[in-house]
Structure 1
Amino acid sequence: MIKKKYALTAIALACAGMLGSAHAEDGKLRIGLIATYTGPYADYGRQFDAGIALYLKEHGGKIDGKEVEIIRKDTAGPAPDVAKRLAQELVVRDKVSFITGLDFSPNAYAVAAVSTQSKTPTIIMNAASSGITKSSPYIARLSFTVQQVSAPMAAWMLKQGIKNVYTVVADYASGVDAEKAFSKEFTKGGGTIVHSVRTPMSTPDFSAYVQHIKDTKPEAVFFFFPSGVMPQTFLKAWKERGLDKTGIKLFATGEATDDSFLEATGDVALGLITSHHYSYAHPSAKNKKFIQDFADQFGTNLRPNYFSVTAYDGMTAIAEALEKTKGNLQGDKIMAALKGMQIESPRGPIEIDPVTRDIVQTVYIRKTERVDGKLVNVEFDKFDKVKDPAKEGS
């Protein structure tokens, strides 16, 4: 307890001297990036880096006329204590003007206290648990919330006449959010949740869960897992246990068919219907340019996904905020500039809600198909201007 109080006091003392100085002494704009660079979720950090690099290349490496320095910190996955310590280092030692990245929700929650104490604007580039923006007045989210993409899927399934569903989610903040949002919307519309399961993040084998689904015989299954290994493993177990032949319909959020992992997931993803805020196959001119520029800079082995798009948008938001404040980096002024901001993103039009500091955007219903030899998420329906359902009425 004493150590925690000392750390926060150190931040307050350090920031008392730095916040009025606006820029680092060498004139650089320092941005701290907390993300996963090692372990099974290392692709998250790589996608953040790519989106940021693409933005900086387009703008000569500068924001507000200042050279941008990205200071990267690796949490190696969900590690709240590590994330908090790294945020403290970024503020006190590295003297960053912004904190960003934050792929996992537990890490974002842990950083919130540091953001508040130091009044450091923090731009969430992925962490999707609904309550994150409530945890600090110095946090704004440019990514999405799990509830924001889960509730529309429930509404869409009801429109298709589906009446009973079995839910499977990963047992952490975002998984719980997905389960609650989906179940609330589905039951509100007259549907029934026949069974709900929360699986450990370390689950290596889904065969027992899939067998229980088979025995329960629901009309459909809705699932949520973080992008990467878990969706692939679940889909393979689904096919191995023959559930693709039982008539039980399968639905998920877009993490299940994350563009970065889709080719590795393979044909077990074909036909899966998902709800999400970005697809590599999004047909807008802005996205086509983004994809082409991405390929020109990084080649075709790395496909941009929703992490890289949000990183690109996050940098856009920082630049536009500084343009509004005329270069003033004071935390309250930056947060005021972010509220209500509208951006034309590769994913479509987005806005930062002026009350909740959360993202407002289109949620797309997609189907995984092969197009020109590539597995892609083809959008065929949408919900416009979706807010986080947990904050409706705010």
Structure 2
Amino acid sequence: MQVKKLAGTALALVLACSIAPAGAGNAGDTIRIGVITSLTGPAAQSGEQMKAGIDTWLRQNGSQVAGKKLEVIYKDDTGPQADVAKRLATERLVRENVDILAGFVFTPNAIAAAAVAEKARRPMVVMNAAASGVTEKSRYVTRTSYTIAQSVQPLADWAYKTGSRKVFSIVSDYAPGIDAETWFNNSFAAHGGQVVATVRVPLNTVDYSAYLQRIKDEKPDAIHVFLPNGQPMVAFIKGYKEKGLDKAGIRFLGGEGWADEDVLAMGGDAMLGIYTAGFYAYSRPGAENARFLQAFSQTVGGRFQPNFLSVSAYDAMNLIAATLTRTEGHAEAVRFIQAAATYSATSPRGSVSIDPATRDIVQTIYIRRIDKKEGKYVATEIDRYDGVKDPAKSAAAAGRMK
């Protein structure tokens, strides 16, 4: 413990002594963006999606903005490791004197890096990390992804509106899962629905059979599920089908990630008929998404389809470019964040903007059903909630006003 404390103190001293004054890093002709993401380890696929979104934006728009060249510097945090993310953020500021920090698949990593951004007075653009509190950790953080509450509250509203009255909640036991549990359960109950049971499962769970049997025994009319992206989702949905929960009339309600190509492909027919809420699926209609899909396919050589992480990263680059245009190429933290607060654009996901009060994104949340069309699993948009802000911060603001 003492060694860790000394290491942290040394890091803080390096940060204080070695970083150039705010705004000095972009005095030349280059704006350096330090992207910290997971390029190896259990979340390597998420990092690959993030990088592909950034590279797609560069393919479409080039690297020149407001008379400056954009230089993207990638560093691998290897997974949910806050200490590693904090060290990498500090090193990018000290060694490369980056002007903007960006990336962050995981909430703990983003929170750790936000402390560095605050101390160094550097802007930071979060491309995933969906716990509501992330943007409150520094005055210089903005986010282009979403918050868990932002997708879960519309899902709860829609579930009640379309007939669900008794829901079983099951989430992974970490900050995003607890956010999902809190916001779904409270929102559903506020409409008059009943949450018959709430279960938090360990993050490393691979066998859900006992939980699924309990759900079947409780006889809810729906389950709300929040699990980490990828294999945990696949294991759960296959068990849901094998246990016959679908045949028992227990409707499946999930958040973002359930409409991703890899999850759909691995889950197969077990995915059919489930409902999911989120801001992006590659199969969504529209000319803007069609253009993005074409450019993305060229970027990755057709190896995989984009998911919500790649679109968030793509939009983050668009926000950075638009903001730098407004600031005439200056990335000084206060000026950058103030300009970013005015951002609005048309995205592959639809219309987006930044809430100036919270520095979080405002966007449409889509309710989607998983179908099979022409031999492919796709997410069909069946309802939508436009102009959704982070309800967690809206609720906190309302509480302060009372």
Q: What is aligned with 2:344? A: 342
Secondary structure in structure 2 of the residue aligned to 1:355: coil
* Matched residues, number: 392
Give the equivalent residue in structure 2 for 1:224: 226
Report the secondary structure of 2:310's partner residue: helix
Structure 1 residue 40, shift from structure 2 partner: 2.5
Let me know the Cα RMSD of the aligned residues.
1.5
Cα distance in structure 2, aligned partners of 1:340 and 1:20: 20
TM-score, length of structure 1 as denominator length: 0.96
Residue pair 1:22, 1:328 contacting (<8 A) in 2 also: no
Q: 2:121, 2:140 within 8 Å by CA — same for their partners in 1?
A: yes
User: Which whole-Å deviations, capped at 9, do the CAs of 1:236-285 have from their partners, x for residues lacking one?
Assistant: 11122222221111111122232343222222111111100111122121
Distance in 1 between the 2:342 and 2:182 partners?
Answer: 27
Which residue pairs with 1:45 in the alignment? 47
Cα separation, 2, equivalents of 1:79 and 1:22: 27
Deviates more, 1:34-43 or 1:355-364: 34-43
- What SS class does the counterpart of residue 91 from structure 1 fall into? helix
CA shift for structure 1 position 297? 3.0
Residues 89, 116 of structure 2: 8 Å contact kept = yes
Residue-by-residue CA offset, 1:107-134 (whole Å, 9 max, x unaligned): 1111111010011111110110011111
1:40-70: CA deviation from partner (whole Å, max 9, x where unpaired): 2211111111111111112223333333222
**Structure 1 residues 313 and 260 mapped into 2: Cα distance closer, same or farther (>3 Å)?**
farther
Residue range with higher mean Cα deviation, 260-269 or 337-346: 260-269
CA–CA distance in 1 between the matches of 2:173 and 2:9? 30
What is the letter of the counterpart of residue 11 of structure 1?
L
| TM-score (normalised: structure 2) | 0.94
- Per-residue CA deviation, residues 59-90 of structure 1 (Å, 9 max, x unaligned), is 22333333322211112211111111111111
- The answer to whether the aligner puts 1:19 opposite 2:22 as a matched pair is yes
**Contact between 1:170 and 1:176, CA under 8 Å: does it hold in 2?**
yes
Is the Cα–Cα contact under 8 Å of residues 18 and 95 in structure 1 kept in the other structure?
no
> Does residue 15 of structure 2 align to residue 4 of structure 1?
no
Corresponding position of 1:385: 387
Structure 2, unaligned runs of 5 or more:
398-402
Report the alpha carbon displacement of residue 14 of structure 1 after superposing the two structures with TM. Answer: 2.4
| Counterpart contact for 1:286–1:346, Cα < 8 Å | yes
Could you say which residue in structure 2 is the equivalent of 1:105?
A: 107
Partner residue, 2:88: 86
Which of residues 207, 211, 214 in structure 1 aligns to 2:213? 211
Q: Please give the alpha-carbon distance, in whole angstroms, between the structure 2 residues aligned to 1:192 and 1:378.
A: 28
Secondary structure class of the residue paired with 1:329: coil
Match among 302, 306, 309 for residue 308 of structure 2: 306
- In the TM superposition, residue 373 of structure 1 has moved relative to its aligned partner by 2.1
User: Kindly, what percent of the aligned residue pairs are identical?
Assistant: 42
Contact (CA 8 Å) 2:355, 2:361: kept in 1 or not?
Answer: yes
Question: Residues 34 and 87 of structure 1 are in contact (CA less than 8 Å); yes or no, is this contact kept in structure 2?
Answer: yes
Paired position in structure 2 for 1:254:
256
The aligned residue for residue 30 of structure 1 is 32
**Which letter does structure 2 place at the counterpart of 1:8?**
A
Q: Secondary structure at the match of 2:220?
A: coil
Aligned to 1:119: 121
Query: Structure 1's 283 and 257: CA in aligned 2 closer, same or farther, altered over 3 A?
Result: closer
Q: 1:230 to 1:186 in 2, by over 3 A?
A: same
SS at match of 1:72: strand
Alignment partners' CA distance in 2, 1:261 and 1:334: 37
1:80-110 CA-to-partner distances (Å, cap 9, x unmatched) read 1111111111111121111111011111111
Q: Distance in 1 between matches of 2:171 and 2:38?
A: 22
Aligned partners of 2:76 and 2:330: how far apart in 1? 29
The CA distance in 2 between the partners of 1:160 and 1:301, in whole Å, is 37
Specify which of 62, 74, 77 is matched with residue 75 of structure 1.
Answer: 77
Alignment of 1:139-150 (within 5 A): 139-150=141-152
User: Where does 1:194-209 land on structure 2 (aligned, <5 Å)?
Assistant: 194-209=196-211
Q: Hey, what's the Cα distance between the residues in 2 that align with 1:312 and 1:333?
A: 22
Q: How far apart are residue 391 of structure 1 and its match?
A: 1.0
Which stretch shows the higher mean deviation, 2-11 or 48-57?
2-11
Instruction: Give, as a single letter, the amino acid of the residue that structure 2 aligns with 1:21.
Output: A
**Partners of 1:382 and 1:150 in 2: how far apart?**
13
Structure 1 pair 20–251 and aligned structure 2 pair: CA distance change class (3 A): closer
State the Cα deviation string for residues 287-343 of structure 1 (Å, max 9, x = none).
Answer: 111111212332332101111111110001101111111111211110111113111
